[in-house]
Each structure stands twice: as C-alpha cells, then as structure tokens.
Chain A
Amino acid sequence: MSTGIAKYAGLLLAPGAWAINTQLGQILPYVDCGAGVSWSTVASFVAVAVAFAGTVVSHARFGPSEARTNLFVAKLNVLAGLAFVFALLMQGAAAMLLDPCLR
C-alpha cells in the first residue's frame, strides 16, 4: 500500500469491512440455517481481521519524522478503526451466540 493511502487505511478498511459484514448479516443466516455451518461467524471474524489490519497499517505511520497533519490523519484512522473493530467483535459475538434459524 502506498504511504500516502496507508494513513487512511483505518478509515477505509475498517468501515468497509463493517459495512460488508452488516450486509452479509442479512444474507448469510438463510445459508447458515440450511447448511449447518456458521458462515456468519466466519465472515464476522474475517472482517475483524481486515479492520484490525487497517488499523495497524495506519498505526505504522506514527513516527517522529511524520508531518503534523499526517500524524493527525493517522491517529484519526487508528481510533476510527478501533471503533469499527469493536462493532465487528459485537457482531461476531452475536453470530456465535444466536441460532441462524431463529425468526
């Protein structure tokens, strides 16, 4: 990832993963119920990993030589990324706890 975009990784990957997982949450329960495999759980924790990766990439931009504004953007991305990691962990927990066939 180019260094210019890297500082935005937390704000691109984490909300992106969360948005996709939220949509999958409307689709996969029907699949899970029939298949007996919790793809919702798998998708949620893959999304957690992607969101966390985005956060880590942004965090890697922290450094004493970084320009003030770049550092601000990187920190903003790390904090936002963590917020979405938390949201995705909650979705993952729900996927583990609930029966996908429940209506």
Chain B
Amino acid sequence: MTEDRKQSSLMDDGLDDAELDWHLLKSWETPRGIWKVIATVDHKIIARRYIVTAFVFLILGGMLAVAMRIQLARPEARILDPDRYNQIFTMHGSTMMFLFAVPVMQAMALYLVPLMVGTRNIAFPRLNAFSYWIILAGGLLLWISFALDAAPDIGWFAYVPLSGPEYGSGKRADIWAQMITFTELSALAVAVEIVVTVFKQRAPGMSLDRIPLLVWSMLVMAFIVIMAMPAIVFASSTLILDRLVETQFYNPAAGGDALLWQHLFWFFGHPEVYIIFLPAAGMVSTIVATFSRRAIFGYLPLVMAFIATGILAFGLWVHHMFVVGLPRLGESFFTASSMAIAVPAGIQIFCWLATLWLGRPVFATPLLFVIGFIVTFVIGGLTGVMVASVPFDTQVHDTYFVVAHFHYVLVGGAVFPLLGAIYYWFPKMTGRMMSERLGRWAFGLIFVGFNLTFFPMHILGLLGMPRRVYTYQPDLPWGGLNLFISLSALLLVSGFLVFLIDVLVAWRSGEPAGPNPWKAATLEWATSSPPPAYNFRRIPVVDARDPLWRYPEELAVTAGLRVDRRELIVSSVVEALPEARESSPRDSIWPFWAAIATSIMLIGSIFTPWAVVWGSIPIAVTLVGWFWPKGTAEDIS
C-alpha cells in the first residue's frame, strides 16, 4: 500500500458511533433496486433467501408426501397411477434431501457463522451469491420437469441399471443427475466459505477452545461436504456419460460395475445424514445452554463427538448395501463402525441432558423442540442400531421399517432442531418475536402428529410392507395401519401450518425483539436485531467461551479498520490472533450471470455433449467479468 493511499484511508478509531455507523453503512449496505438486490453479497440477505427457498421446497416436498399418504390410505386406490407415484416418491426424497435439508442447514451457517465468530461477511461472498443462484436453478429444473410430467422416477438414490441407459428411457434420469450436479456445486461452494470463515476470520481472541459449538458443528459439516461430495460428483457425471456418450461405467456386460454406483452414492449418501444432523446438533447445543441458563456441560467431549462423528460417517456406507452379497466379514466392519458411532452420539445426548439437569431450564418453544428432538432422535438411533445388524437388516431391507427409521433420524434429528432454531434465531433475523402460544401449538401438533404418523410404519415394515409400492391388495394386513398413518399425517401437516402462520404473522407484526431477547451468550446477540449490513460497529475481542455472559454490559472491541471500504480482520487458525486487514469484495452482478451461464451449460449437456464445449465459453466470459479489477478500494488486498 502506498503512503498516499494510507493517508487517504478513513479509519474507525477517530470516529464517534454515529459517524462510524454512517460510514460503515455507506461501505457495506446493499443499495435499493432490483439489479442491486440481485448483485448483493451480504451473507445475511443471501442466507435469508436460502432459508425461504428451502422452506418453499419443504412445503412442496410435504405436499408430495400428503399425496402419497392419500394414495396409500386405502388398498387399491386409483388416485395416483404407478408412473406418477414413482415420480412423486423420487421428487419427495430428492427435494427433501438435496433442496431442503442440506441447503437449509448450510443457510443457517451462512447467516450465523459470520455473526458468531464476529466478522463482517462470509469468506468469498461472491461465491456465496453464485451458490444461491445455482441451487435455485437446480430446484427449478427438477420442479419444472415435474410440472411437465417428465420428472425422475428412479428413487432419490437412482440405482443403476434402473437409472442407466438400459432401463431409464427419456431424460428423466439425466434431469435427476444434473439436478444433483447443481446441488453439489452449491454445497461445495458454501462449505469452502464456511471453512475459511471459521479458520481465518474469527474475532481476535476466539481461540479454538472458545469457538461456539454451533460453529464447530458447521465446520465439521463443511469438511464432510468437501470430502463426500466428490463421490457424488463422479457418480452423477459418469451416469450422464453412460447415458449420453455411451461410456460403460455401470454396465457389467461391457466391463463396468453396477455396484460401483451404490458404493459411490452411499459413500456420499451416508455422510449426507451427518451433513444434516451435525448442524442440528450445534443448534441443540446452543439452545440447551441458553435456556438452561448455564454454560454447556462437556464442551470438550461435544467438540470431540462432532469431529469423531464427522470422520466415522465415512465408514458406514456399506450398511446401506447389506443385501448385495459382499463378504460377511467386510460387512461386519461397517456394522462395527455403525455401532461405534453410537458412542459420540450418546456423548452428545448425555451432555445435553446434563446441561438441562444442572441448569434452570426455561421451557420456551425452542427448548420444547429440542426435547422433542432428543426423544425422537433416540428412537431413530435405537432402530439405527437394529438395522446396523446384518441379519435384522436383511429381514427389513426396503420395507416400511427402514422408512420409519430414517424419518425418525432425519425429521427427529434435523427438522425438530431446525424448527427450534427458527424460533430461537427468528428474532435476530427479523427483529421480531414469534408467538409463544402458537409455537407451543405447533410443537404439540408436530410432535404428536410425527410420532403417530411414523411409529406405526415400524410395524408395517415388520408386517412385510415394502417401500415404494403405489398400492396394495385388500387382503394384506396393512389397510388399517395405513389409514391410521394417513389420518395422523393430517395432524402433522396442521402443525406445520400453525408454524408457517406463526412465521408470517410474526414477520409482519411480531413484538420487537431487541438485541438479545433470550439473554444468550454468543456474539450474534451482541449486535442489533436484525444486524446492520456491517454486522458489528466494532469487531469484538473475545476472551471467554460465553462472552455475553462474562461481559453483559460491554464487550472489548478492536480498532484500526478502514471504514471507507469493506474491510475485515484475518486471524490465526489456533489462537485467533489478528494477522492482517483484508478487503471483502463489493456487490457484483457477475456471480448471477456466471450462475445463468453454468445453468445453461449443465441443462444443455443433458441433451448434447457439445453443450459442455460451447457452454464453457460464456462461463469463461462471466468469470473474467467476475474477477476483472473494477478500480474500487477493495481491489487492493
């Protein structure tokens, strides 16, 4: 930096609060206007878009579930034909896993991690904007294909040869595989952003042993994404190659291997469960501590449990393949790991229970959802230990027992904590409180409705009902339970309706929240609700794990950052010692154009391999525009 530039820089140390706010707002605010809004790189705005989009997909996926339950309520129903039913269960699984669960958890990280580590924006904010437009395009691709009666009909794990060129006619499997590519791109981008933000942008003093547990959980989740996604990148790409240019990766007759698909898919697919669960575990840890009014019990074992879970997640995938004929001894190694992962899971549960036991719990709505999570997830965990056993799994494989198990794990392990987290952080995101009365109704209806819907599915599975059948004969002993399940699903749906009404009413006219309505301990509550574009007037200095409990009146803060450009502190990985001042990129429309160009290339490559060649040119042009220096103060690092 030249001496002239130094002299012309406006620093934050000589300014009073009002002047500082004015300058920071000028540097960081997203201007009004449609193109400005599209160009924004504010992590909070993008995260809110992600969350709203993911909940729209949750509603759409939920409507498909209702359609399936109406069809299955009585034997030999003719409401849905088999082809449409196949599309619906594929759409339901794919939407919930790829367009709701993973994006919404990453979105919570996008919103909360920069605030919790005390920085002004996520790392690589333009990549963040790109990731949102990409996943939106992937979701639109899938749902437009459904509207055109051309949706995938191959199940959410798209086993070959069903999805291969031999049996998967038309473009349905290609649309599924390319939708996966969109979600992979988005998830990988967000994961990289989270890792760099946590490692290099923490507030001074936030050493590794002072990082909030939610941030730890998001960090481990991001590493799992980075390790797991390449497997599905390879799988979906090679599936398209098999279908489009007649490679033979999955064709045994030509030297390929159908089981390769299952290995690749589940090497990603099982860690996917923990990509969804670990953020939820971080949310639970945060909510339990706040509403127990004490520091979390067992911070160190919890961090260890997150990390151990994240690694062990990669040694479980074969337990989805126990019936394919692998050596029994090899399978048993995966049984061993599946049992061993119960140890870190158990440690987490006991730490949360101990925190509640030793604290003075306040049973507000977020904590109710956490308690619902503990009950539901423990049941899902117990049936998980059951299906980790090869002989038992062989009996219930592809039955409703497995459907019940994974809904207990995924809804219990992720959706309950997520709803609790929405109640908990909604005041921070919007500045308004949600209704406690409606929240209790929502919790009661969802908890009772969920258990009445999914617990009987265990029994249906033990009675031999296979998953993915569009109907069944009246003389089979499944009719009564199916009717009961379908009626119970209405209760579950009504709970979600109450939740959505609560969100909409609170967003419009909820009580003002104030900066810290729950009297919580972590840094996101040290700023206003909703936070300003620059997050913190001055970057806090941290010397405790629960900074707002240690210093409830005023936090120590740093000085010396420029305010005439977007600038933040880069700190060391272990001790979070300040190392440098780094510029943070300004808003840019180019990530949007890059996402459009990428989408055109990806969708075009469903139809012709030449789309990859010609489609790369506009992508290259948009990337040049993205990185071309614009002559702003942020161009100088």
Q: Which residues of A pack against B, CB within 8 Å?
A: 11, 15, 18-19, 21-22, 25-26, 29-30, 32-33, 40, 68-69, 72-73, 75-76, 79-80, 83-84, 86-87, 90-91, 93-95, 98-103
Query: What are some 15 contacts across the A-B interface (CB < 8 A)?
Result: A22-B315, A32-B329, A69-B209, A80-B308, A80-B311, A83-B343, A86-B340, A86-B343, A90-B340, A91-B332, A91-B337, A93-B336, A95-B332, A100-B327, A103-B327
Q: Which residues of B pack against A, CB within 8 Å?
A: 207-209, 300-301, 303-304, 307-308, 311-312, 314-315, 318, 325-330, 332-337, 339-340, 343-344, 574-575
- Distance, CA A75 to CA B307, complexed state (A): 13
Contact A80 B304 (CB under 8 A): yes
Contact A98 B328 (CB under 8 A): yes
User: Which residues in B have their C-beta under 8 angstroms from that of A83?
Assistant: 304, 308, 312, 340, 343-344
- Distance, CA A36 to CA B326, complexed state (A): 19
Q: A22-B337, A29-B327, A30-B327 are in contact. Are A69 and B312 (CB under 8 A)?
A: no
Contact B330 A29 (CB under 8 A): yes
- Distance, CA A60 to CA B477, complexed state (A): 62
Which residue, of A86, A94, A99, has the highest number of chain B Cβ atoms within 10 A?
A: A94
Contact A76 B307 (CB under 8 A): yes
User: Which residues in A have their C-beta under 8 angstroms from that of B344?
Assistant: 83
Contact of B326 among A26, A40, A69, A94 (CB under 8 A): A26
Chain B: minimal CB distance from A7 (Å): 10
Q: Is the interface of B mostly helix, strand, loop or mixed?
A: helix
Contact A72 B328 (CB under 8 A): no
- Distance, CA A98 to CA B328, complexed state (A): 8
Contact A84 B308 (CB under 8 A): yes
Contact B335 A76 (CB under 8 A): no
User: Which residues in A have their C-beta under 8 angstroms from that of B300?
Assistant: 72, 75-76, 79
Q: A22-B315, A68-B209, A69-B574 are in contact. Are A98 and B340 (CB under 8 A)?
A: no
Contact B337 A69 (CB under 8 A): no
User: Which residues in B have their C-beta under 8 angstroms from that of A32?
Assistant: 329
- Distance, CA A72 to CA B574, complexed state (A): 11
Known: A18-B315, A68-B207, A80-B304; 17 extra A-B contacts, CB below 8 A, are A11-B307, A22-B337, A26-B318, A33-B327, A69-B207, A69-B209, A76-B307, A79-B300, A79-B308, A83-B344, A86-B340, A87-B312, A87-B315, A87-B337, A90-B337, A95-B329, A99-B328
Contact B329 A40 (CB under 8 A): yes
Chain B: minimal CB distance from A55 (Å): 12
Contact A76 B304 (CB under 8 A): yes
User: Which residues in A have their C-beta under 8 angstroms from that of B340?
Assistant: 83, 86-87, 90
Which residue, of A30, A33, A69, has the highest number of chain B Cβ atoms within 10 A?
A: A69
- Distance, CA A72 to CA B308, complexed state (A): 16
Q: A76-B300, A91-B337, A94-B332 are in contact. Are A102 and B327 (CB under 8 A)?
A: yes
Task: With CB as the reference atom, state the residue of chain B lying closest to A26.
Answer: B330
Task: With CB as the reference atom, state the residue of chain B lying closest to A27.
Answer: B330
Task: With CB as the reference atom, state the residue of chain A lying closest to B300.
Answer: A75
Task: With CB as the reference atom, state the residue of chain A lying closest to B328.
Answer: A102
Contact A98 B303 (CB under 8 A): no
Chain A: minimal CB distance from B221 (Å): 17
User: Which residues in B have their C-beta under 8 angstroms from that of A103?
Assistant: 325-328
Which residue, of B311, B315, B326, B336, has the highest number of chain A Cβ atoms within 10 A?
A: B336
- Distance, CA A4 to CA B315, complexed state (A): 28
Contact B329 A94 (CB under 8 A): yes
Chain B: minimal CB distance from A87 (Å): 4
Task: With CB as the reference atom, state the residue of chain A lying closest to B327.
Answer: A29
Contact A87 B336 (CB under 8 A): yes
- Distance, CA A14 to CA B337, complexed state (A): 13
User: Which residues in B have their C-beta under 8 angstroms from that of A84?
Assistant: 308, 311-312
Contact B339 A90 (CB under 8 A): yes
User: Which residues in A have their C-beta under 8 angstroms from that of B207?
Assistant: 68-69, 72
Contact B343 A91 (CB under 8 A): no
Chain B: minimal CB distance from A69 (Å): 5
- Distance, CA A65 to CA B547, complexed state (A): 26
Chain B: minimal CB distance from A90 (Å): 4
Contact A79 B343 (CB under 8 A): no
Which residue, of B329, B332, B336, B574, has the highest number of chain A Cβ atoms within 10 A?
A: B329
User: Which residues in A have their C-beta under 8 angstroms from that of B574?
Assistant: 69, 73
Chain A: minimal CB distance from B503 (Å): 38
Chain A: minimal CB distance from B454 (Å): 29
- Distance, CA A103 to CA B332, complexed state (A): 11
- Distance, CA A100 to CA B308, complexed state (A): 28
Which residue, of B300, B308, B330, B339, has the highest number of chain A Cβ atoms within 10 A?
A: B330
- Distance, CA A30 to CA B328, complexed state (A): 11
- Distance, CA A75 to CA B337, complexed state (A): 22
Chain B: minimal CB distance from A96 (Å): 10
Contact B336 A90 (CB under 8 A): yes
Chain B: minimal CB distance from A88 (Å): 8
Chain A: minimal CB distance from B254 (Å): 24
Chain B: minimal CB distance from A92 (Å): 9
Contact of B208 among A72, A79, A80, A101 (CB under 8 A): A72
Contact A19 B315 (CB under 8 A): yes
Chain B: minimal CB distance from A81 (Å): 9
Task: With CB as the reference atom, state the residue of chain A lying closest to B337.
Answer: A87
- Distance, CA A25 to CA B327, complexed state (A): 9
Contact B328 A15 (CB under 8 A): no
- Distance, CA A30 to CA B330, complexed state (A): 10
- A-B complex: 6 closest residue pairs judged by Cβ atoms: A25-B333, A90-B336, A87-B340, A102-B328, A94-B332, A72-B209
Which residue, of B207, B311, B333, B574, has the highest number of chain A Cβ atoms within 10 A?
A: B333
Q: A69-B574, A86-B340 are in contact. Are A79 and B333 (CB under 8 A)?
A: no
Chain B: minimal CB distance from A100 (Å): 5
User: Which residues in A have their C-beta under 8 angstroms from that of B575?
Assistant: 69
- Distance, CA A93 to CA B333, complexed state (A): 9
Which residue, of A83, A95, A101, has the highest number of chain B Cβ atoms within 10 A?
A: A83
Contact A91 B307 (CB under 8 A): no
Chain B: minimal CB distance from A11 (Å): 7
Contact B333 A94 (CB under 8 A): yes
User: Which residues in B have their C-beta under 8 angstroms from that of A33?
Assistant: 327
Task: With CB as the reference atom, state the residue of chain A lying closest to B339.
Answer: A90
Task: With CB as the reference atom, state the residue of chain A lying closest to B311.
Answer: A15
- Distance, CA A59 to CA B337, complexed state (A): 24
Contact A69 B208 (CB under 8 A): yes
- Distance, CA A73 to CA B326, complexed state (A): 39
User: Which residues in B have their C-beta under 8 angstroms from that of A29?
Assistant: 327-330
Task: With CB as the reference atom, state the residue of chain A lying closest to B575.
Answer: A69
Chain A: minimal CB distance from B633 (Å): 35
